[in-house]
Amino acid sequence: DLRHRLGSSLPHYLCLVAVTTVSGSAGTSDMLAGTVELTLRSRYCWPKPNCQHLYLSNLAVRKSCRRQGVGENLLLACEQTALEWGFQDLYLHVLENNYQARQLYLKRGYELHRVEPSYTGGLLRLPKRLLLHKQINPAGFSSPGQSLS
For the chain, the structural domain boundaries read 2-140
CA count, 13 A, side-chain hemisphere, 47: 0
The CATH number of the domain covering residues in 2-140: 3.40.630.30
Express the helix, strand and coil content of the chain in percent, nearest 5 each.
25, 40, 35
Residue-wise pLDDT for 30-70, tens only, equals: 999 999 999 998 765 555 566 788 999 999 999 999 999 99
Is the pTM higher than 0.75? The answer reads: yes
Eight-state DSSP code of residue 138: G
